[in-house]
Every structure is written in C-alpha cells, then in structure tokens.
Amino acid sequence: MSATPPSSHRPLMALVTGGGGFLGGAIVEQLLARGDRVRSFARGAYPGLADLGVEVRRGDLRDAQAVGQACAGCDVVFHVAAKAGVWGRYAAYYEPNVVGTLNVLAACREQGVHRLVYTSSPSVVFDGRSMEGVDESAPYPQKQHSHYAATKALGEQAVLAANGKTLRTLALRPHLIWGPKDNHLVPRIVSQGRAGTLRRVGDGTNKVDTTYIENAARAHLLAVDALATNPRAAGRPFFISQDEPLALWEIINGILAAAGLPPVTRSVPEPIAWSAGAILEAAYALLRLKGEPRMTRFVARELATAHWFDITAARTELGYAPAISITEGLHRLEAWFQERAAPAAASRSLASR
C-alpha cells in the first residue's frame, strides 16, 4: 500500500489504536510509506509491526493510564480499535467502544494531541430500513438495532462533541471494508460459502456499497491532514465507500469467485430469515451458548435492505476519491488467495510423495 505525502508534509508522530488489526494495519503501512513515525496500541503483541519499525505498546482501551501513556508525545491519533460483531452482552461492547473512546479523548487532552480521527460506522444511523443515497444529515435512530451500532454511536457523538480549538476531531464511517488480509467479513463469507450455508435474503436486488481496504486507509490519512488545513472538516462525520453501489449478492459472489468458490444461488424470504434470527438469539441467550448465532435479526435486516451513501462531503472536504475500484480490488483479493494457497498446495504435494 502506498500513500504519497504532499510536498509540504511534515512527518508526524501518529498513534493508531488497533494497529495490528485489518484497518489499523493498513493505516500503519500508509503512514510509514509517507515517512510518519507510528506507535500502535493494542492488546496483542503483533511482532510484524515491530519488524516494520512501529513502536508497539500493549494495553487495553479500558485502562486510562495505559491509554494516556500511549498518547504521550503524539501529534495525531487514529482511534480505530473497537469491539465489532452482532452478538454478545451490551457491557462487552460498551466498555471498549464507549469507555475506551472516552479514555482516548481524555488522553488526547492531557497529552496535548492536536488531531483525532475516529473510525465509526454507517450502522450508527441505520434504522432498519433501506438507506439509499443517504448523506450525513441522517439522524441517529431512536432505537439502535445492535449493541455495536449503539456503542459506536455513543463513541462518535463524544468524539464530535470534543472538537475544539486545541483538539480537532472528526469521524469516518467506512462501509463494509474488505480486501486482502481481511480477518472479519471475507473469512465469514468464504467459510459459509465452502460450507454451502449461504443464502440470499430477500429478492437479492438490494444495492449496497462497500470500501476496499486501501481506500479506507487512505481516507484516514486524508482526514487527519484535512483537520490541519480545512476548518470545515472538523467536528463532522463522513461516509466513506467505493461510491459503486451494486446488488449485495453480486459483491458477495465476487468475493466467493476470488476464493475459487461457486456463487450463491439459493434464497430465503426476509421474514423467514428474521424469524430464524429471533429464534437463534433466544436459544443462544437461554442456553448461554458460546460464539454467535449464524443469523440474527440485525443481520437479516442488513442482508435484505439497501445501504449506500452519498460521499460528496468526503470528496469536497477531505479530498477523498476511491483509488481502487471494486473490479481491481477483487483481482487483488484473488491474487492474495492464490498466494496463500500455493504454499499449502506445495506442502500437500510433498506429503503425498
């Protein structure tokens, strides 16, 4: 991944929370590529980051002292780390996503950090209905449809409210990030594709936009630079996407094809998927089952509704434009799958001799 700095760019000391994750790691790589110094704060060790020259700090977002120490000496902070998912206790989301974010804000103030970019999600404004061409004027719904969305909304509101003269903040809402090294969306699709358990929910015509990983990371660098040069960018949320809304199952089938798997051809009506989600949620809660249900009411709604967004604000105020198209992204994903498969195939060949 590359990020060419402007000719006037002054190298920054940047903290990336969740620097060992999918998006955090991509942001780290682009910061390094343009000459910035980087510190990562995460619960894991991630030795690969240290090999790149990243200063690795281990800790928990809920630990205010550890967060404060991680922010010390930094010019900017990218707060990427969060608990994602569609199932679990509310407290399991609230503590990292809300308390953790409040700790980051307090640390930024105490340590004199001047700019903070918060990674939010379009789900903070999802009201259960299709969202087509929605812009940032969309309100937060009266009722959130998942603990993740509810706690990310609280975190986003705290970050935007904290914007001021000494600390400039904004929030990015990248939608459905995917690409090579993905450890969340792509593995789920591929795993269920291999198992033959994927089903279209609804008629399959609902359009959805996504974000290729390199574009999502680049948006974060553009955002932190905009906070230094564009007063109109501060204190605002911005939708980020490919600006290429496609039928959801066209995208899913493209990811399956990149992994060498057949497309999804079977479907289930939305009411049945929603009811199955409700039943599974009740069973998991009653029996205290580990993991998460294969279907939830939130996922059923997400799979059956359209959700794509107007990114005019990001284009205008941040200078964002997706550099990698969906077609190119799928080619890169396919190449990544093939690179991973080659050593495994060679190992099997040796074992069979």
Which residues are catalytic, by number?
Answer: 148
Rg (C-alpha) for the chain, rounded Å, is: 20
Beta-sheet strand order (sheet of 168-174): 55-58, 37-42, 13-17, 76-79, 115-119, 168-174, 237-240
What is the residue whose two structure tokens read 């909304």?
153
Residue 16 in contact with residue 40, Cβ under 8 Å?
yes
What is the residue whose two structure tokens read 């955002």?
223
Q: How far apart are CA 68 and CA 77, in angstroms?
A: 12
Angle at 212 between CA 80 and CA 249, to 5 degrees: 115
Q: Let me know if 138 is exposed, middle or buried by CB neighbors in 10 A (0-12, 13-18, 19+).
A: middle
Strand 207-208 and strand 246-247: the pairing is: antiparallel
Q: What is the DSSP string of 138-174?
A: PPPPSS-SSHHHHHHHHHHHHHHHT-SSS-EEEEEEE
Residue 16 in contact with residue 49, Cβ under 8 Å?
no
User: How does 157-175 read in b/e, with b if 16+ C-beta sit within 10 Å?
Assistant: bbbbebbeeebbbbbbbbb
> Nearest to residue 57, comparing CAs of 73, 34, 33?
73
Q: How far apart are CA 210 and CA 202, in angstroms?
A: 19
Distances (CA, A) of 130 to 267, 304, 331: 19, 8, 29
DSSP state of 49: H
